[in-house]
Amino acid sequence: MSTAWTGNAGVLAARIDAYVEGSLVGAAPEPFDRLALDIHKWQRAHNPVVKALVEREPTSWRDIPAVPTSLFQQLDVGTARSAPAHVVFRTSGTTTGRRGAHALRSTELYDRGSLAWFMRCVPDAPSDVAALLEDPAQAPDSSLSHMVALFGDASWHVESGALARGSLDSRVRAASSALFVATTAFALAEWLDGDVPMLPPDSILMVTGGFKGRHTELSDNDLYREARWRLRPSRVVTEYGMTELSSQLWGTPETAYRPPPWLKVVAVSPATGDPMEAGRVGQLRFYDLCNLDASIGVETLDEGVVHPDGTVTLYGRLAGSPVRGCSLVVEEGWYR
């Protein structure tokens, strides 16, 4: 493991790394519960935001308090900001206000978990990537661009929030083999707003970020239907992640999202915080072992259903919650 983590944090990082590797083959080296509690104990000892949320000593990972995503915008959540060198991922947010921030000593755990779960969920993904996203060299604080860069040799086709349609169309037409096309929902909708070339055979289209914008409400199903008809990908896959987490969920337009073994999801009542019965819609909380530098527990403003097998069906944002999300980068460029 990287020397970015030392002492007890280094021991935890090594245990997390071993858990990721082992759980993928059904042989996790220790119980999720024990590792989660140890991570939380270290986090609350080193970060006052996490400590302030603790009302009683947790005895299960389900008792670990989840930091609301809003606090990542208001406060310094985590322990990496005091490190000599660190990476900061920021939420796209809106054009006003402070953006939420997730600081990491190293992206090593993030990278290992993200790539491993992507390869498990999309094993036939082409390594030739066309991204309707900003180049991470120009947007180093974009966790989405950082993640997609792990998937292969990528070209980038969003500049300053605007879709670079000319370079994207040229890239697709020039491709001599299958492409993995990674896009947010709004970037895809903008691309489909004009003439588009068909993708090469066996190409896969990845869509992330729902229509959580302020200006337009669009139908996911209509977007997927049009994309399949006009672009002709062999498959469409969907991804759900957020800046405040280090792990992602993958699915398809027809199936629920699958979390990796090191990420657990709970639906709770927005009013009381109590867990919902299986199959009931609730506010989503995530418990991510790879989130060592921030908080293992993160509470979102998204709502959905967690099924008995751990998969998740999303139902969008809680009523009245502020707009945010990776699609807004292109949406703001589209409408300004």
Q: Which among 117, 104, 128, 135 is positioned nearest to 239, based on CA atoms?
A: 117
| pTM of structure | 0.91
Res. 216: pLDDT tops 60: no
- C-alpha–C-alpha distance, residues 23 and 28, integer Å: 4
Shared domain check, 122 and 39: no
Q: Which residues of 67-94 are buried (b: 16+ CB within 10 A; e: fewer)?
A: bbbebbbeeebbbbeebeebbebbbbbb
- C-alpha–C-alpha distance, residues 309 and 101, integer Å: 31
Q: What is the CATH number of the domain that holds 238?
A: 3.40.50.980
Shared domain check, 312 and 268: yes
For the ranges 81-90, 130-139, 220-229, 304-313, the lowest mean pLDDT is seen at: 81-90
Shared domain check, 153 and 233: yes
Shared domain check, 45 and 171: no
Shared domain check, 228 and 151: yes
Token pair listed for 37: 């509690």
Confidence of residue 209 (pLDDT cuts 50, 70, 90): confident
Q: Which pLDDT belongs to residue 3?
A: 76
Res. 322: pLDDT tops 70: no
Q: Which pLDDT belongs to residue 85?
A: 61
Range of the domain at 62: 7-99+257-317
- C-alpha–C-alpha distance, residues 326 and 211, integer Å: 10
Residue 105 belongs to a domain: no
Shared domain check, 149 and 119: yes
Residue 87 belongs to a domain: yes
Q: Which pLDDT belongs to residue 324?
A: 46
Q: Which pLDDT belongs to residue 69?
A: 94
Res. 217: pLDDT tops 60: no
Q: Which pLDDT belongs to residue 320?
A: 61
Residue 279 belongs to a domain: yes
Residue 2 belongs to a domain: no
DSSP, residue by residue, 55-66? SS--SSGGGSPP
Residue 224 belongs to a domain: yes
Shared domain check, 265 and 245: no
Please state whether beta strands 128-134 and 180-184 pair in parallel, antiparallel, or not at all (unpaired): parallel
For the ranges 41-55, 71-85, 154-168, 202-216, the lowest mean pLDDT is seen at: 202-216
Shared domain check, 41 and 142: no
Confidence of residue 278 (pLDDT cuts 50, 70, 90): confident
Residue 152 belongs to a domain: yes
Shared domain check, 156 and 80: no
Distances from the Cα of 200 to the Cα of 162, 189, 230, 233, 234, angstroms: 24, 20, 12, 8, 9
Residue 1 belongs to a domain: no
Domain count, the chain: 2
Distances from the Cα of 194 to the Cα of 131, 148, 175, 183, 232, angstroms: 18, 25, 20, 16, 16
Shared domain check, 310 and 287: yes
Q: Average pLDDT in the 258-269 region?
A: 97
Q: Which pLDDT belongs to residue 321?
A: 53
DSSP, residue by residue, 181-238? EEEEHHHHHHHTTS--PPPPTT-EEEEE--S--SS----HHHHHHHHHHHH--SEEEE
Residue 328 belongs to a domain: yes
Interval 26-74: pLDDT, tens: 999 999 999 999 999 999 999 999 999 999 999 999 999 999 999 999 9
Confidence of residue 313 (pLDDT cuts 50, 70, 90): very high
Confidence of residue 125 (pLDDT cuts 50, 70, 90): very high
Q: Average pLDDT in the 118-145 region?
A: 97
DSSP 93: -
Shared domain check, 248 and 152: yes
Interval 2-15: pLDDT, tens: 678 999 999 999 99
Q: What is the CATH number of the domain that holds 64?
A: 2.30.38.10
